[in-house]
Structure 1
Amino acid sequence: MKALSVLALLFSLAACGSDKTSTNGMNLVDEGKFTFASSGEFKPFSVTDTDGKMTGFDIDVAVAIAKELGLDPVQKKFKFGGIVEGVKAGRFDAAVASHTITEERLKAVNFSTPYYYSGPQIFVRPDSSIKTLDDLKGKEIAVSKGSTYAKTAEEVTDKIILLDSDVTALEALSKGKHDAVITDFITGKEAIGAGMKIAGKELLGRSDQAIAIAKDNKKLLEEVNKALQTLRDNGTLTKISKKYIGEDITVDPEKE
């Protein structure tokens, strides 16, 4: 009887040690589900509709990955600046939120193979004389919180305004605030198409966008990478890209 009590206690302690469940070796927030985070504020990658549901490029990619994994997709809207920490803390299985792979982020999470390729660009009002990064010396630049663009802005100014999203920054620029915004060129292109009074200037390089997964969840990382390869091979990623972007941004430009 005493032995049974000890076994029951050990089982109870083990169960309390983790809030996650294991499915085929993958540690998941909820069994049978792929719980992913996105900002819902990064059109056309993730946009929130009137019902609070997110749609967009990232969302479709996450849903396609869940299908390949045999899991039900569960979307969680979260402020971009806190998503990586949320993945690290186990709140989400993954972040499918257009994160650029950086050395700093790699200290907190692992990244999948890139699922699309992009790059930052300077955006200003149409009447601005600013054309290059050098022209932004001492100017006021708005960027989204948690993005990699703040570091680029720090190269030329200490007048950096952090806003909740790239769209918010571009809207403020369009209405006469700040001197410039640095953001993904596709997001800026989308904003111009939506009627914002802004213009794109110098492109500032390229970036690899990938899915963030907790460092202790190597099996999930492995399975997500397998799923992404399948989605590349069968044309699903290309189809999603053309649906939202109008062109294929899922192919590494250095391999074209």
Structure 2
Amino acid sequence: MFKKIRFTGMAVAILSTVLLAACGTSKAPSGSSAPAAATPPAGGTAKPTAKLVMATNATFPPFEFVDTSSGAKQFSGLDIDIIKQIAKNLGFEFTITDMPFASVVGSLKDGRADFAISGMSPTEERKKNVDFSIDYFKPRNAIVYLKGANYKTMNDLEGKKIIVPFGTTYEKDAKTIKGANVVAIDGSTAVIQEVKSKRGDAAMIDGSEAHEFLKKNPELEMSLLPPTEDSFAIAFPKGSKWVEPFNNELKKMQENGQMKELVKKWLGDQFAQ
């Protein structure tokens, strides 16, 4: 799981078709047999050339989640918007298969999916089983605290009581802070409740998670810490010909500002720097 702390719960498989262009006539087979011809022609928009299957675990807002606000189940989030843009440019249609995070890599290996995007870090262990695109996002850790506390850096937490999710990298990082009383409990929701109840001075959790908590808890603030070595990338079956076309589109989005705007849309100005 990404960053060693991705809490997913049990997700029931949901299959939802997302049509992004006019109806295509050919279907791309899974894995390495997917045609590279899906790359759009220079100066124009490609017509649909394939129908792909995307694997994800839609329990990680704001990257991917199931939105029922319209009365129907729809997949939404930053990762979904990124794929919609790539699909539009490359000219393919795709369906989304929602599954437990632990099953995502396996779905690529056994041909059930053509690519996966799910807040996934390209670890060395995963690279043994799947191929990855270039990085498209650098996650950041955050300090969460009651308004007015103004904890901007880890040094500001010296001698403070810090609440962290049990068994995570945050627990390890917090224990390096001089004089800190580090308390590890199960789950980010419980961690945030401890801070709200003033049973802890601050929490250390994933920045994107913190962003979502702040939407529902206006009494809280957060400070983002410098980027870590972690990153998110799109995964593919070994040898997939879709890696290069996806990489080309990701590079374009990074260069023309589209990626920055999507990050800003879902995570705010702090993450778009």
Query: Among 83, 90, 93, which residue is 1:62 paired with?
Result: 83
- Per-residue CA deviation, residues 133-180 of structure 1 (Å, 9 max, x unaligned), is 9989xx87427xxxxx8355467599674x6xxxxx3x3333449978
Measure the CA separation in 2 of the matches of 1:160 and 1:125: 19
Counterparts of 1:123-162 in structure 2, within 5 Å, are 123=144, 132=154, 141-142=164-165, 150-151=168-169, 153=171, 161=186
AA aligned to 1:40 is A
Measure the CA separation in 2 of the matches of 1:125 and 1:98: 28
* 1:185 correspondence with 2:196: no
* 1:77 correspondence with 2:95: no
AA aligned to 1:54 is F
Q: Provide closer, same or farther for how the CA distance between residues 104 and 181 of structure 1 changes in structure 2, counting only shifts above 3 A.
A: farther
AA aligned to 1:92 is A
* 1:203 correspondence with 2:225: yes
Contact 1:141–1:181 (Cα < 8 Å) also in 2: yes
**Counterpart in the other structure of 2:63:** 45
TM-score, normalising length: structure 2:
0.61
- Per-residue CA deviation, residues 41-82 of structure 1 (Å, 9 max, x unaligned), is 222212211233211111000111122221102222223343
AA aligned to 1:172 is A
* 1:32 correspondence with 2:50: yes
Contact 1:40–1:77 (Cα < 8 Å) also in 2: yes
Once the two structures are TM-superposed, the CA of residue 87 in structure 1 deviates from its matched residue by 2.6
**Counterpart in the other structure of 2:267:** 245
Measure the CA separation in 1 of the matches of 2:56 and 2:36: 24
Contact 1:150–1:160 (Cα < 8 Å) also in 2: no
Contact 2:64–2:76 (Cα < 8 Å) also in 1: yes
Query: Could you tell me the percent identity over the aligned residues?
Result: 25
Gaps of 5+ in 1: 1-17, 144-148, 164-168
Contact 1:173–1:198 (Cα < 8 Å) also in 2: no
RMSD (Å), alpha carbons: 4.0
Secondary structure of 2:168's counterpart equals: helix
- Per-residue CA deviation, residues 84-126 of structure 1 (Å, 9 max, x unaligned), is 3333333222221222232232223222111122222354678
Measure the CA separation in 2 of the matches of 1:225 and 1:52: 30
* 1:235 correspondence with 2:253: no
Measure the CA separation in 1 of the matches of 2:139 and 2:221: 18
Secondary structure of 1:98's counterpart equals: coil
**Counterpart in the other structure of 1:215:** 238
Secondary structure of 1:35's counterpart equals: strand
* 1:121 correspondence with 2:139: no
AA aligned to 1:115 is Y
Once the two structures are TM-superposed, the CA of residue 21 in structure 1 deviates from its matched residue by 8.8
- Per-residue CA deviation, residues 173-196 of structure 1 (Å, 9 max, x unaligned), is 334499786543132123112227
Gaps of 5+ in 2: 1-28, 38-48, 176-181
* 1:174 correspondence with 2:192: yes
Once the two structures are TM-superposed, the CA of residue 216 in structure 1 deviates from its matched residue by 3.0
